Each structure stands twice: as structure tokens, then as C-alpha cells.
């Protein structure tokens, strides 16, 4: 669902600082069923992030990260980081101008981390 709706949205989305919000408004208001595709994408992304967090908590609580499944845990942590990264940088498209603040906070946090912490 997320990949299909993202692919459809990418046909009309313009990823530039000046045109991004305008393209989101155009998708929502002018494209046939654009508001439905955008809503599906937003809710699918939200549910994906929530399910990833719940799954990570479940694996941690049940101690399913011990050998012989430690490699699965490492892949899961990388997947978790990727999902959080996509969630953080997908916010501007979902929220418009207000989302720029969230992205700026994320960029400042990323710049403040020592290089040993960043994977």
C-alpha cells in the first residue's frame, strides 16, 4: 500500500524547496482522487511506523534478540532506523510548511550527534 501510493504521488510531487508545498496542494485539490491517495499514503506510513515500534518493543521484551537470532536483531535495528529516517523526512510533505520545522529539528539533532553514534 505504501509503495503503490508513494509511486502514484511521486508522479505529481515536485521535491524542491519552493515547489513542494504547491505540488502537495495541487495533488490534494486538482488531481483526480489525489486526496484519497495522499490520505492512504499518510495513514499507511503512520501505521507502518507504529507497527515497527510495537514489533521492536515486543522483540526486546521477549528477548528474541539472543543468539541464534542476533543477526535478525541487527537487521531489525537497521530497518527501525531506516523507518524512523523516512518518517522524519516524510513529514514536510504531509504537513506542508509546518513540517519544515520538524525536519529542521531532525537535521540539527543529526548534526549534533557525534560521528561514533551515527550508523
Q: Report the alpha-carbon distance of residue 38 to residue 24 in Å, rounded.
A: 9
Q: What is the pLDDT of residues 51-60, one digit of tens each?
A: 999 999 999 8
Q: What is the pLDDT of residues 25-80, one digit of tens each?
A: 899 999 999 999 999 998 998 899 999 999 999 998 999 888 898 899 999 999 99
Q: Which three cell numbers stand for residue 13?
A: 510531487
Q: pTM (2 decimals)? A: 0.72
The alpha-helical segments, DSSP class H, found in the chain are: 2-10, 20-29, 34-61, 70-95, 97-112
Q: Which residues contact 8 (CB under 8 A, 6 or more apart)?
A: 37
Structural domains of the chain sorted by starting position, each given as residue range(s) with its CATH number in brackets: 2-112 (1.20.810.10)
Amino acid at each position: 500500500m505504501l509503495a503503490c501510493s508513494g509511486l502514484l504521488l511521486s508522479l505529481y510531487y515536485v521535491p524542491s524547496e519552493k515547489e513542494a508545498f504547491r505540488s502537495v496542494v495541487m495533488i490534494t485539490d486538482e488531481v483526480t482522487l489525489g486526496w484519497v491517495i495522499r490520505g492512504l499514503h499518510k495513514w499507511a506510513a503512520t501505521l507502518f511506523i507504529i507497527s515497527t515500534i510495537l514489533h521492536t518493543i515486543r522483540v526486546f521484551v521477549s528477548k528474541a534478540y539472543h543468539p541464534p537470532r542476533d543477526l535478525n536483531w541487527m537487521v531489525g535495528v537497521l530497518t527501525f532506523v531506516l523507518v524512523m529516517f523516512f518518517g522524519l523526512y516524510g513529514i514536510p510533505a504531509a504537513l506542508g510548511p509546518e513540517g519544515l520545522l520538524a525536519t529542521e529539528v531532525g537535521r540539527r539533532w543529526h548534526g549534533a550527534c557525534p560521528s561514533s553514534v551515527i550508523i
